[in-house]
Amino acid sequence: MQILFLQLFYKKIIIVLVMDLCWLRVPQWEKHGGLLHGFLGRRGGKSAGPYASLNLSFRVGDDSQVVKDNICDVKRAVGVHDARIVTMKQMHGDQILEVKDRNIKEAGEADGMATGEKGLFLGVLTADCVPILFTVSGKKLAAAVHAGWRGTLAGIAPKMVDYLKERYDVNPASMEVALGPAIGLCCYEIGPDVSLSLVRQWGNLAEQCLHTKGDKKFLDLRALNSLLLERAGIPQAKIINIGPCTSCAAEDFFSFRREKKETGRQLSFIGWL
């Protein structure tokens, strides 16, 4: 295993390279013994064409056997050979599910999952939307959220904070959150209907994350989710943004906005051994 330490976006990140696969880890989380997490990119898989090469979604038109092979390679590389990586049928909404069953591959229709079970890893599939991973100091809890603009409008990230607080009796001040690679302000043009809806819902927080260039509006989706998480009670120091703009980093990440057509999905995962 080769581990490189880089300075990226003013924060140190850990880049792990195994078997031609590459994923990002949060250095602040290395203190949590037994916690496995990562934000994978598109390199190192077997998929071809628009899905090249580490597509991990069965829902985009890729060959299902190739996707299975990619998943096996990922599990072997990250060290969870006998464990389950559970994903969900992402709906761009605010539904949250608790996952306890190790025998399922997909939890159901949702955009957030939480678990207190060891050996069960939660996965989010993205190609521009924000993957958000949660852990809690002193507890073996893990949660994962998929936040596009619709989910952000619905408040999926702060709703996960409330869910963990109510379901597991967790103080938001003890939560730690990482927001992974997603489309950036530089590339995420949105229509006036979307910007208006976000401002109506989130007021000044949304306005801080909207920028105008000529007659076009651009949204900083990760920044808005970070502000919403902070307002929900998570300390700013425990909210970490990691990784580049997916639309800009064409060789490393899938981007639906960049391709404007079929493309693969990268996986972000979290769980406890």
pLDDT in tens, 214-230: 999 999 999 999 999 99
Supply φ then ψ for residue 29, to 5 degrees.
-95, 0
Cis peptide before 137 (omega within 30 of 0): no
Buried b / exposed e over 63-73, threshold 16 CB at 10 Å, is eeebbeebbeb
**Coil, strand or helix: which one is 220?**
coil
* Arithmetic mean of pLDDT over the chain: 94
Beta-carbon contacts of 117 under 8 Å, excluding residues fewer than 6 positions away, are: 99, 100, 102
d(CA 124, CA 271): 12
Please choose, from the candidates 135, 232, 252, 130, the residue with its C-alpha nearest in 3D space to the C-alpha of residue 179: 130
Q: Give the pLDDT of residue 4.
A: 46
Q: Which residues pair with 216 in a beta bridge?
A: 213
Type and span of the H or E element at 9: none
Predicted confidence band of residue 27 (pLDDT cuts 50, 70, 90): very high
Please choose, from the candidates 243, 244, 254, the residue with its C-alpha nearest in 3D space to the C-alpha of residue 57: 254
Instruction: State the alpha helices, DSSP H only, in 12-63.
Output: none
Q: Which CATH superfamily is domain 2-272 in?
A: CNF1/YfiH-like putative cysteine hydrolases (3.60.140.10)
CA distances from 152 to 94, 162, 265 (A): 8, 15, 19
Token pair in block for residue 74: 């990922």
Q: Tens digit of pLDDT for each residue in 32-82?
A: 999 999 999 999 999 999 999 999 999 999 999 999 999 999 999 998 888
Threshold 0.75, pTM exceeds: yes
Token pair in block for residue 110: 């949702």
d(CA 23, CA 40): 4
Q: Tens digit of pLDDT for each residue in 112-142?
A: 999 999 999 999 999 999 999 999 999 999 9
In the chain, at which residue ranges do the beta strands (DSSP E only) sit?
A: 2-8, 11-18, 21-25, 35-40, 84-89, 96-98, 106-109, 112-115, 120-126, 130-136, 139-147, 175-179, 189-190, 210-213, 216-219, 239-241, 266-272
d(CA 93, CA 10): 31
What are the boundaries of each domain within the chain?
2-272
Q: Give the pLDDT of residue 17.
A: 83
Type and span of the H or E element at 74: helix 64-78
Token pair in block for residue 119: 């050996």
Predicted confidence band of residue 9 (pLDDT cuts 50, 70, 90): very low
